Structure 1
């Protein structure tokens, strides 16, 4: 297998929202804020070639589907669809993708499924040959969001996925599309049914951490986001998750860390977790099945 870290459209969001109840005096040591309290965030995707013989894209980032007013509101930096450019730079296009795996359907993780906004045009699904793999429980959340996170979903997206005829809902540890090559586990602290995908390998695989652990600062156990539905539950889930990945030598892949794509997890003699062996970018990075 070969892995690529692909940047999608980036954002600048309020640092206080991204670090929940952690004070600015603490989190600004990790990510300095601008004058408006904004911090840089990636929407990084993971491309894997040779997963059960397939080319798989883990998430699509925020994309460029927002109209200009909403693009500004949500801090999206670039107007063009950056993920498509990143795919092309790696030698691929959206038609080459066999499977798209989505941890959840919040717009900053699934918006890249859609073509870039054009005035007067309806939303249009990209990736014409891909199966779309989504957690079954989170799918129900997307169909009937809570008022607290309704704005995080793209209203038109569920019907577009249904109409594609290529949607697979997963409620166990494996999917039909990827067999034993990818193992799934689920988390409820950020959003109900968040699906965490691990590419299985003989000597430690790679897991897409999604919004359970958006980047290196959030490896620290008490650090959560203001966007998380159940922060205390998330902390408990994160501890079990990190203990498991540390025991099995599974690397962490970060979607929102602007400077680090992948790292291993370590734990010191006081029980504190940290990201180590950091990798800024993956470019046809080899992973032995």
Structure 2
């Protein structure tokens, strides 16, 4: 089967650095990322486009990229970078997307979008023709969230997905919705029921690492975040999946790293994981 992979950038996201890096001391993580005056750090918002069998599939870590961009309040405002804009550069529009796969449904909205949500306004979700896919176990979590992550689920997004008539709930492993060449790994350390797709390619599989390993820094097994549901579980899941990728000669796709879209991994004699063969972007890659 011919399959092409492309990385698509959306609007960057900001998050409190202390929450992002959890129990890592501030004096350490500020050497990796420089926070602003509000202690916010900037992350990429990267989506994977998979084109196969006349289907266009978007894979997203979280649901913030699903929301339509806010309209400009005046023509003097510059166009903000957006997923739709970068899809258009590949000749694709909203109606060309057949499937949107969510590893999970947490939302890290921009500050402007957060104000709209807090005001009770409903921003429409994108891709009106697409089937929306996510994990069944995670959907149950989204419907009945724990206080730990309740504020990460946006009810208006969940309602629109549920009422679309196009929502499909999946289990780990293989399934008919995605077909041959896709395998879903379930992860419960960051959030309950996160599904991470492994996609077969001629040069070795690509594993979409979601928010289990959002960026290169998280190759350090000990690095966990404030939103992680079960840090000990997460560390074990990272180790197992990284070893799996290495054994299969595969790569990781990183949704939040500002420089790297895909990397290969090796494990040294001290059992530390390090990246090599970094790619800043994928562009209709077939090998």
Tell whether 2:205 aligns with 1:205: yes
The aligned residue for residue 29 of structure 2 is 27
RMSD between aligned alpha carbons?
A: 2.6
In the comparison of the two structures, how many residue pairs are matched?
272
The 1-side partners of 2:204 and 2:91 are apart by 27
TM-superposition CA deviations, 1:209-230 (whole Å, max 9, x none):
1110010000111111111111
**Gap runs ≥5 in structure 1:** 69-77
Cα distance, 1:34 vs structure 2:
3.2
- Is the 2:63–2:104 Cα contact (8 Å) retained in structure 1? no
The aligned residue for residue 107 of structure 1 is 107
The aligned residue for residue 45 of structure 1 is 47
3-state SS in 1 of match to 2:155: coil
Q: TM-score, structure 1 length as denominator?
A: 0.86
Distance 1:237 1:92, change over 3 A: same
Q: TM-score, structure 2 length as denominator?
A: 0.87
The 2-side partners of 1:125 and 1:67 are apart by 12
Cα distance, 1:285 vs structure 2:
2.0
TM-superposition CA deviations, 1:183-242 (whole Å, max 9, x none):
101010000001101111243111111110010000111111111111111001110010
- Is the 1:43–1:61 Cα contact (8 Å) retained in structure 2? no
The 2-side partners of 1:120 and 1:272 are apart by 46
The 1-side partners of 2:126 and 2:14 are apart by 25
The 2-side partners of 1:61 and 1:31 are apart by 24
TM-superposition CA deviations, 1:51-100 (whole Å, max 9, x none):
x44211001762466989xxxxxxxxx98571111111121112111111
TM-superposition CA deviations, 1:102-142 (whole Å, max 9, x none):
00000139x9xx9xx69996332321211111000000001
The aligned residue for residue 12 of structure 1 is 14
The aligned residue for residue 190 of structure 1 is 190
Distance 1:215 1:183, change over 3 A: same
The 2-side partners of 1:66 and 1:192 are apart by 28
